[in-house]
Structure 1
């Protein structure tokens, strides 16, 4: 059964006078970049037509040749899923913490480079900040809750991550993975990025990237998530293309989809029905 937009008002973390919790809801002045994002849910059999239009105006991402690359993310949240509910409730400022790996997860080891990321939304603008760390240091920081060896330029961000984890008692909640094709703008479209995400999977335990664990489709295989991302505005030729192909804007979060797919929260109005399931 789908829930209404709001949850029941029973989370003291959101309504208490906890000053540390309140301060962590304030937008940070530090960020890598700002961008606007538009998401679409597209039947996979429509992707070749969309791809043919895109490659005429954009270049393939340097990492995306030969069919794309894997993207795996472990998401952290509170016991009562604060970050999940902030997304479902559409708060104007919200954030999430994740550790992300690009590539084949089965080859991940202690020294594999991963990214510790804070992704946050301020009104309609998405801000993403991250640092690259060896996987064993990322786990020590996020799971062990200890400061790790780092470059001095990373210190402020790592302190923020550690504060977020410690004060909110964050822990791994869900993992997502998918195959991504990415395209970048050229000439007048510098800063534009378009991604196609296929075979979106997840799991709710065994959060080591290389763990020999079952992953399950959390979005039907017949659907792909397409995102338009721009520093200032999405160009008219791209929005016109979306209209011509009858692409409908959706409000979808892979993290929220994974949380709901594994029964950690009732399915919201934004859940993509899982008419198909499979082990991968």
Structure 2
């Protein structure tokens, strides 16, 4: 069983074109080091299943931009994941702009047993992991949750040479789907952003470094509000509206014909 990881930080998001990303790389290499999985320009995959209530309360509430919001997801770095593979059950909260993420590791089989049948995983007596599981248990007492959204992407990640808690991530090939909601399934879905775009996230405990702010201004890259799950949900709602609109038109015509 892996160790718990806890993060508390601000996350600032930007959308970059591929050209802006390429223009940014030389300066990035001067101030930052690639993640150990990204040496030599490599990327790694991230695969998530988000859980929500039957009426999508958590994401609908999140899109209202309250001071406090929370979400829960199951994450893997392999696709498709096997029952014995390690996954991360994460609870993520945002309070007045500060993101706190706590997660616990277990096998995919253990995670499925817990999420589907509420069978508590054996955490090896770890107090810290039990603490997070208690928090997740409390979350589940408040919300009846089910798998609602699959999201995957490819990531390039960097951390500061002077401040290793300062991280930059660049995500591309963001895809989502509302079916086959299992990490056992292969990654596929609809694009959440254009294929030639990357989502950059600045993850910091303090203020943004001056060199970064100046380079973003030079490249005309501006802060945006973007939630992967939120974007996927908005696309789902839009698709539902587009599907029901012709049906409503047909129904109105039928009523007119029978009048």
Tell me the residue number matched to 2:109: 136
Matches within 5 A, 1:214-233: 214-233=188-207
- After superposition, the C-alpha distances for 1:128-158 in whole angstroms (9 at most, x for unaligned) are 1001111111111122222121133211211
RMSD: 2.0
Residue in structure 2 matching 1:168, options 143, 147, 151: 143
- Which structure: larger Rg? 2
CA distance in 1, matches of 2:139, 2:76: 21
Does the Cα contact within 8 Å between 1:145 and 1:166 map onto a contact in 2? Answer: no
Matched position secondary structure for 2:105: strand
Q: Check conservation: 1:36, 1:231, Cα contact below 8 A.
A: yes
Match of 1:203? 177
For the pair 1:183 / 2:158, whether they are aligned, the reply is: yes
Q: Which residue of 1 aligns with 2:119?
A: 146
Whether 1:238 aligns to 2:215 is: no
Aligned-pair CA distance for 1:266: 7.6
Check whether the contact 1:164–1:170 (CA below 8 A) recurs between aligned residues: no
Counterpart residue number, 1:251: 225
State the aligned residue count.
235
Q: Which residue of 1 aligns with 2:33?
A: 59
133, 137, 159: which one aligns with 1:158: 133
Greater mean alpha carbon deviation, residues 92-101 or residues 154-163: 154-163
Contact 1:142-1:165 within 8 A present in 2 as well = no
Q: Mean alpha-carbon deviation: is it higher for 149-158 or for 91-100?
A: 149-158
TM-score by length of 2: 0.85
Whether contact under 8 Å (2:153, 2:175) holds in the other structure is: yes
Instruction: Provide closer, same or farther for how the CA distance between residues 90 and 110 of structure 1 changes in structure 2, counting only shifts above 3 A.
Output: same
- Structure 1 residues 134-143 or 207-216, which shifts more? 207-216
Q: Note if 1:76 corresponds to 2:56.
A: no
Post-superposition Cα deviations, 1:163-184, rounded to whole Å, max 9, x if no partner, equal 3224310111101101000000
User: Are the equivalent residues in 2 in contact too, given 1:147–1:162 (CA < 8 A)?
Assistant: no
In 2: Cα distance, 1:209 partner to 1:31 partner: 21
After superposition, the C-alpha distances for 1:61-89 in whole angstroms (9 at most, x for unaligned) are: 01223421001111011122222122211
Q: What is the CA–CA distance in structure 2 between the aligned matches of 1:129 and 1:192, rounded to whole Å? A: 18
Aligned residue number for residue 7 of structure 1: none
Displacement of 1:213 in angstroms is 6.8
Structure 1 residues 142 and 220: CA distance shift in structure 2, 3 A: same
Answer yes or no: is 1:127 the counterpart of 2:100: yes
| TM-score normalised by length of structure 1 | 0.79
SS of 2:16 mapped into structure 1: strand
User: Whole-Å Cα distance in 2 between the matches of residues 155 and 184 of structure 1?
Assistant: 29
Structure 1 residue runs of 5 or longer lacking an equivalent are: 1-29, 268-280
Structure 2 segments unaligned to the other structure (5+ residues): 242-259
More helix by share: 2
